[in-house]
């Protein structure tokens, strides 16, 4: 116990960078089990919860008892990678905005021994991709940079076609409905229709790929200076769950969901 306390003290000393960008330093614990590439159990409860969802990333998914769920490629490799980073290691939790999800899991960035940032390390290894939420989007820019480097190098998931960045081709995207995808394309038309922003990626809004930003989310975009004009004619990369609504569509709930790539 004394040795663990010393190690935790070292983590606190070695992790100043993770305390930046509006993250709030939280509790300390030891990782007792790794569930998958983005979820762990701690050796003790914190505000009634011992399970932590690593906020800001999405790792390949394991079935985890879900009937009929098909395991995503490299899910076991992703879990193994997180085990090498955190298993039996003392960590400190760093919080963004929301601190617990609807499943009762803590939402946090984890800093391990020697200042290792778990999310950053998983992205660097290509064992996860960025996955932000309106109430948890801190450090998004830094995470995108790490992801981009891993993707360019073809590391981990980025060497597998299951995770390939999709083009904004409605016929191809139609095969990916109800899946999480990263899509790139040029916004050919951007409009605000009664408070809802639509980013269209082709001449026919009834069939082409579209990004929809509802009224509540649009207010968040506009407060960040990101109205329709910010995307008109721009090459962008957007990520989210694909739906079928007048062609393939992704709902964008916060600005960090859309990366502007070029004019």
What is the predicted pLDDT for the residue at 141?
A: 95
What is the predicted pLDDT for the residue at 3?
A: 35
What is the predicted pLDDT for the residue at 66?
A: 81
Task: Give 109's strand partners.
Answer: 94
Task: Let me know whether 20 and 50 are in one domain.
Answer: yes
Task: Let me know whether 25 and 91 are in one domain.
Answer: yes
The CATH number of whichever domain residue 135 belongs to comes to 2.40.50.90
Task: Let me know whether 145 and 254 are in one domain.
Answer: no
Task: Let me know whether 149 and 192 are in one domain.
Answer: no
Distances from the Cα of 227 to the Cα of 191, 196, 219, 231, angstroms = 9, 10, 9, 8
Identify the H or E element spanning 259. strand 258-262
- pLDDT tens across the length of the chain (263 residues): 433 443 334 344 344 454 446 799 999 999 999 999 999 999 999 999 999 999 999 999 999 988 888 999 999 999 999 999 999 999 999 999 999 999 999 999 999 978 999 999 999 999 999 999 999 999 999 999 999 999 999 999 999 999 999 999 999 999 999 999 999 999 999 999 999 999 999 999 899 999 999 999 999 999 999 999 999 999 999 999 999 999 999 999 999 999 999 76
Cβ atoms < 10 Å from Cβ of 76: 14
| Range(s) of the domain holding residue 172 | 165-262
Task: Let me know whether 179 and 242 are in one domain.
Answer: yes
Mark which of 159, 180, 203 sits at the end of a domain. Answer: 159
Q: What is the dihedral of CA 212, 215, 221, 227, to 10 degrees?
A: 80
Are 109 and 99 within 8 A, CB to CB? no
What does the alpha-carbon distance between residue 201 and residue 98 come to, in Å, rounded to a whole number? Answer: 33
What is the predicted pLDDT for the residue at 22?
A: 77
Task: Let me know whether 196 and 132 are in one domain.
Answer: no
Task: Say which residue the tokens 């064992």 belong to.
Answer: 127
Can you give the pTM of this predicted structure?
0.90
Identify the H or E element spanning 33. strand 24-36
């Amino acid at each position: 116990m004394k040795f663990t306390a010393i190690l935790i003290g070292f983590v606190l000393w070695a992790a100043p960078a993770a305390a930046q960008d509006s993250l709030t330093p939280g509790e300390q614990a030891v990782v007792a089990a790794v569930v998958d590439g983005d979820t762990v159990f701690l050796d003790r409860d914190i505000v009634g919860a011992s399970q932590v969802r690593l906020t800001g990333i999405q790792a390949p998914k394991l079935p985890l008892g879900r009937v009929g769920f098909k395991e995503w490629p490299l899910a076991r490799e992703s879990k193994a990678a997180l085990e090498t980073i955190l298993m039996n290691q003392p960590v400190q939790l760093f919080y963004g905005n929301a601190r617990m999800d609807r499943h009762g899991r803590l939402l946090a960035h984890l800093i391990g021994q020697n200042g290792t940032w778990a999310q950053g390390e998983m992205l660097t290894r290509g064992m996860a991709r960025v996955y932000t939420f309106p109430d948890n989007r801190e450090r998004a820019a830094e995470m995108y940079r790490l992801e981009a480097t891993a993707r360019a190098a073809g590391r981990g998931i980025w060497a597998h076609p299951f995770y390939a960045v999709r083009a904004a081709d409605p016929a191809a995207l139609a095969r990916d409905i109800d899946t999480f995808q990263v899509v790139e394309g040029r916004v050919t038309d951007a409009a605000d229709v009664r408070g809802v922003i639509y980013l269209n990626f082709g001449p026919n809004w009834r069939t082409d790929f579209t990004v929809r930003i509802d009224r509540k989310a649009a207010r968040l975009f506009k407060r960040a200076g990101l109205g329709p004009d910010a995307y008109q004619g721009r090459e962008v990369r957007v990520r989210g769950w694909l739906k079928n609504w007048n062609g393939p569509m992704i709902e964008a709930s916060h600005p960090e969901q859309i990366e502007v790539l070029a004019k």
